[in-house]
Amino acid sequence: MSKQKYKLSTIIIFFVCLVVLLSLLFTGLLISQTVSDTIRNNQEEKSKIVSRTVAKSVIVTNGLENGEQNAGAIQQYTVDIQQATDVLFIVVMDMNGIRKSHPNPEMIGKSFVGGDEKAVLNGEEHISLSKGTLGQSLRAFTPIYGADNEQIGAVAVGISLNNVEQALEKAHHNIIIGSIIGILVGVLGAVILARYIKKILFGLEPFEIAKIHEERNTMLQSVHEGIIAVDKDSTITLVNKSALRIFMNSGLPDNPIDMKLTEYMPYSKLDRVLKTGKPEQDEELTFNGVSILVNSVPLIVNKEIVGAISTFREKTEVHELAEQLTGVRMYAEALRAQSHEFMNRLHVILGMVKTGFYDELTNYINEVVNHRVNEVDYVTKNIKDPALAGFIMGKLSFARENQVEMMIDNETVIPAPKEANVIHELITIVGNVIDNAIEAMDDMKEKKLQLKLNYDKHQLQIKVRDSGPGLKKEQFTHIFKKGYSTKKSNRGYGLYLVGKSVESLGGTIQLNLSVENGTEFIIQVPYEVEEEDE
């Protein structure tokens, strides 16, 4: 016979009711004792405050120092205070224990009753329980000092113990009523809680939830993207199989659970997400030769960051494809510029033909042909790689289209590289730097751009100088960041790609601040060639 399975709602109602019942029982006992102590302490403090107030009264001290002359004033004063504070009695006595005031005027002039006044007549303030002419009471005694700081009497303030007991009984009654109401509310709350939990769990029972949990874990481990999660202390709590595979390929340990993120991956930005609470999307990270694309988000519960999670995938192949696509885009732009320039010249030729300016047309065609031949001859003679040469020719046309005077100055012949992917990187570098320079000169009267190429000892140096407004020194540290731009929004990717390409080639970028006007970029990259002239 299979063991009976209780429903989740039944278990919740039973245990919530049991916990509420036991909690209210013990809480009621503790509160009852605390309230009793509090009431007694409050009554003692009240009597002490009243006695100290009366002891400091000028009316009382003058009455005791002047004898019978001000006796009536003491009685009137204490009666007023007694009515205002709702105490049982206020008795002022001299050093012989003779009453100077009493709720019953007939008791004035008689000795204080109770036997607990001796300590106060010796200068000791205290509280006691005793029986006097008005019955059992809680009494506070305070000595009275004259102008020369010598004790001249004492004051006794009494609070009826019957009032104290009544207050305690009322408090206990309220506690019992509150406990009963708490039990009823607890039962009702248990029923509502059970229904609410059942609702948010989509009506699932615990064993069904466990099954779904196992299925989700299997899915988590089977996804292609790597997943890593940390708690608020940056301790790694979750790593799936894809993440472990990527980590092992990069030489990291294969069991990072319970390790600190800063120890396992000191270059990770997930720790920064924990501090800022802001998600970071599509961040590139390279470690040990492995390039990954990372998305990181904080885990927030009740407006508090309890952890963070990153999903990532290998970026090496995607990055190579993106670089190739960037090169294709550069080629396309160069061809478009050349086509646009050619169409403009055809329009000029067509206009001269229609107007009959044949002599001018001949001169114009000769000028265009000679300029084109000289330009093509110079570029192809000094740049041996056809893709790079054609690209630069396109940039010359693009510069003329934007009314920029572009000059190419090759200090040496640039041989073709040994690896074809280097050309894609160079096109990305040269194209984006030139485009950025041309755009920077939009509002300038003089628009000049100079490109210098120099090859020496397996190193290629690229210098691009413009006559634009120039860059400030502090801007140089930011211009290669993704999304940073001094222009409109949704910009700031050209120089970011330049920085990535230079980094992939193992080169360096410098900014020449010594130029008088404009900006000069100096880029140095390793450049292995197919053959070198002897």
274 compared with 171, residue with greater pLDDT: 274
Query: What are 282-286's contacts with CB under 8 Å, separation 24+?
Result: 284/315, 284/319, 284/500, 285/312
The per-residue pLDDT for range 163-199, each reduced to its tens digit, is 666 766 776 677 777 777 777 777 787 778 777 777 7
- Distance between CA atoms of residues 523 and 533, nearest Å: 24
Return residue ranges of the chain for CATH 3.30.450.20: 1-222, 224-314
Q: What is the mean pLDDT of the chain?
A: 77
Name the pLDDT band for 487 (thresholds 50, 70, 90). Answer: low
- Which tokens in the block code for residue 370? 């000679």
CA distance 307 to 288: 26
User: Would you call 65 exposed, middle or buried from its count of C-beta atoms within 10 A (0-12, 13-18, 19+)?
Assistant: middle
CATH number of 1-222, picked from 3.30.300.160, 3.30.450.20, 2.60.40.10, 3.40.50.970: 3.30.450.20
Beta strands in 241-303 (DSSP E): 280-287, 290-301
Least confident segment among 98-102, 436-440, 513-517: 513-517
What does the pLDDT read at residue 533? 46
Segment 214-223, tens digit of pLDDT: 777 777 777 7
Please report the pLDDT score of residue 143 as a whole number: 92
- CATH no. of 224-314: 3.30.450.20
| Averaged pLDDT, 284-306 | 78
What sections of 56-160 are H helices per DSSP? 58-66, 71-85, 118-121
362-412 confidence digits (pLDDT tens): 666 655 555 555 566 677 778 888 878 877 877 887 887 788 888 888 878
Q: Are 274 and 308 in contact (CB under 8 A)?
A: yes
CATH topology of domain 321-526: Heat Shock Protein 90 (3.30.565)
Question: CATH 3.30.565.10 residue ranges in the chain?
Answer: 321-526
Whether the predicted pLDDT of 485 surpasses 80 = no
Higher confidence at residue 484 or residue 273? 273
Q: What is the pLDDT of residue 322?
A: 52
Whether the pTM exceeds 0.75: the reply is no
Q: What confidence score (pLDDT) does residue 141 get?
A: 92
Beta-strand pair 280-287/508-512: unpaired
Instruction: Work out whether strand 89-94 and strand 520-526 pair parallel, antiparallel, or are unpaired.
Output: unpaired
Q: Is the distance from CB of 176 to CB of 28 less than 8 angstroms?
A: yes
Residue 17 has pLDDT above 70, yes or no: yes
The amino acid present at 394, given as its one-letter code, is: G
Instruction: Give residue 457's Cα distance to chain centre.
Output: 50
Higher pLDDT, 473 or 457: 457
Give the H/E segment covering residue 183: helix 161-200
Confidence label for 1 from pLDDT (cuts 50, 70 and 90)? very low
